[in-house]
Amino acid sequence: QFGGDLYSPDGMQTAINSEETLKGITLMSELFTLYNVPKYVGSFYNQFRYGLLPIGISDLSTYILLDTAAVELDGLWGMDLHPGVLDTDTGEINRYSSVGAQASMIMSDTKYPEESWDFLKWWMSTDVQSDFAFLLQSTYGQAYFWNTANLDAFETLSMPREYKNIVLEQWEYAIEASRIPGAYMVEREISNAWTKIVFDATNPRQALDEAVRISNREIIYKMAEFGYTYQGEILKEYIVPSIYNIDQWLTEVDHD
C-alpha cells in the first residue's frame, strides 16, 4: 500500500528496508503499540458476535459464519473495502491486500494434453462454475458457498448485490507475494521484525536492517544452489514472478 517491494528487481536480495517498506511496517506495528489493537484474537467471529471487537479484517469463512450462524446479528453488520493508504499524487486509496489462491495444472508428461486442456476449459467455464455453486448450496445448504475465481460466475452467486460489488472492487487490489529461492526466510524475518518492534520496542529501522541481513544470506545461498550465481557473480538472469509479468511467463512456454 505504501509502494514498497519485497525484492530487488533482479531478485538477488530483499528490499524490505526501503523507505516505503519502513513506512508500512511502522504503521503495522503502531496499530498495536499506539492504538492498542489486540495482538492475538483466537476467533474474530466469536469476538465480533459477542461485541468484544466491533471491526476487523477477515476472510470468506467469517462471512459465511456471520451469514449462516449468527442469525441474531442479521441486518446489524456489513462488509466494506479493505482499509488502505491514500496516494496524495493520484487521490486514490491503495487497498492492496495479499491473497492466497489455488491453481490447476497439467503435468508436462501427460499422455492427454489436449483432453486435459479441454477439461480445464470446461471446468473453469462460467456455466459450469455457476451450476456447481448452485448445486452445492441447493444440496448441502447455504453454508456451502463456492468462492469461484471466475468473475462472471461470481456475479451469479447467492450473495447480496452490495457485497458482490465490494468483493469485485476489492478483487482489483488483490496481490500475492512473489516467491523466489529463499522467500521463506524473508517471510520469517518480516514476522520477526514485527515481533521485535511490538514486543521489544526495537527501532523499526534496526529491526528491518537485521531482517535484511539474515534474509539476504539465505537468498544468496539459494540462488547459488539453483545455479543463478557463483561466488557472488550472477550467472543468469532471474525474473521475480509477479502478477505484472505473468503474461510474459505464459508466452514463453514451449508448446512443442
Residues of the chain with pLDDT under 70: 249-256
In the block, residue with C-alpha cell 452490495: 162
Q: What confidence score (pLDDT) does residue 256 get?
A: 46
Q: Which of 2, 1, 57, 15 is nearest to 178 (CA)?
A: 15
Q: Where in the chain is the domain with CATH 3.40.190?
A: 19-98+176-251
Average predicted confidence (pLDDT) for the chain: 90
How much is the pLDDT for 252?
59
Instruction: From 16, 156, 26, 93, select the one nearest 8 (Cα to Cα).
Output: 16
pLDDT at 98: 84
Task: State the cell numbers at 168.
Answer: 469485485
Q: Which of 243, 215, 227, 225 is nearest to 17 (CA)?
A: 215
**Partners of 175 in the beta sheet?**
98
Enter the C-alpha cell of residue 145. 458457498
**19-98+176-251: what CATH class?**
alpha beta
